Amino acid sequence: MYTRELTVQPSDASCLGQIKLHSLLNYLQDTASLAVEDLEGTATELMARGYAWVLTRYEVELTGPLPTLDEHFVIRTYHDPNHGYGTLRVFEVVRPDGMPLVWAKTSWLLLDLAAGRPVRPSAHLPEITERDTTPIDPDFRDIPAFPQDGEVTEVPCPIRFHDLDTNGHVNNAVYFEWVFEATPLDLMKYDVRSISASFRSGARWGEKLRIQVAELPSSSENRDFVYRIINEKNEDSGAGTAKPRTLFSCSWEARP
């Protein structure tokens, strides 16, 4: 298991003093790269070899309070490359004393940049099987279907230049920012407890996207929402309901 210790910096702390979730997700992504850097090379070296990793699924559970400003925390990660074209990776965020704070599971595809298609990681990057591997359950929570009736909130998602990653797509953590800002809740009064994401296709510079949000009935005290990100061009083409680029579900809990 690869381990990395970090400290919440002022630039990563929200107005509530906790680490911003999108900052934490960026730390997880960077930790995944560092964990295999001496096996497959840096991100730049990997691209020079003709490959790039593409995220397809995300599942996050907040099991404790998010780390606060100046607080130390530890990220632990391991992966399971034995899923055909997919590679799974789990992250555990804990306090230095071992108290669990966040658990996350991700699924990735290795993309052959020249061919524009996924390839088997174990065949093209066999060195990644050498370390920090543990079997991981391939199942992810189902994202509930978007309700056919009820109130729907729609918010535009302008793609900014600095939203793009080195692959020219919107970075995965940016989508979580969109989800936060589009949720029709007082964010000073609610904390996210769990979130799931299914990335269907990447968004690029110049596209016009919007996010649609609907609340689900819930038998608990939590507020549960589903989200879908739509390309406005496809919606306006007369082709009917466009296939969503990305799907999310999120459970929110009232802050004490």
How far, in whole angstroms, is CA 55 from its chain's centroid? 8
**3 state DSSP class of 61:** strand
Kindly report, residue by residue over 27-83, the tens digit of the pLDDT: 999 999 999 888 888 888 888 999 989 999 999 999 999 999 999 999 999 999 988
141 and 59 in contact (C-beta within 8 Å)?
yes
The more confident residue out of 174 and 256 is: 174
Average pLDDT of the residues in 183-198: 94
Q: Tell me the CATH number of domain 2-130, given options 3.40.50.11720, 2.60.120.560, 3.40.50.720, 3.10.129.10.
A: 3.10.129.10
Question: What does pTM read for this prediction?
Answer: 0.91
Q: Which residues contact 167 (CB under 8 A, 6 or more apart)?
A: 52, 54, 202
94 residue type, one letter: V
Q: Partners of 154 in the beta sheet? A: 212
* Chain mean pLDDT for the chain: 91
Note the pLDDT of residue 61.
97
What are the CA-CA distances from residue 122 to residues 54, 71, 85, 110, 119 (Å)? 16, 38, 9, 10, 9
**3 state DSSP class of 79:** strand
Note the pLDDT of residue 13.
97
Note the pLDDT of residue 239.
40
Average pLDDT of the residues in 6-29: 95
Check if 2-130 and 153-254 are the same fold: yes
Choose among 100, 128, 127, 124: nearest CA to 114.
Answer: 124
∠ CA 171-57-108, nearest 5°, is: 75
Q: Partners of 44 in the beta sheet? A: none
> Which of 3-7, 33-37, 131-135 ranks highest by mean pLDDT?
3-7
Q: Tell me the CATH number of domain 153-254, given options 3.40.718.10, 3.30.930.10, 3.10.129.10, 3.40.228.10.
A: 3.10.129.10
186 and 254 in contact (C-beta within 8 Å)?
no
CB-hemisphere CA count at 13 Å for 172? 25
Kindly report, residue by residue over 78-126, the tens digit of the pLDDT: 999 988 888 999 999 999 999 999 999 999 999 999 998 999 988 888 8
Note the pLDDT of residue 193.
94
Domain locations in the chain as residue ranges? 2-130, 153-254
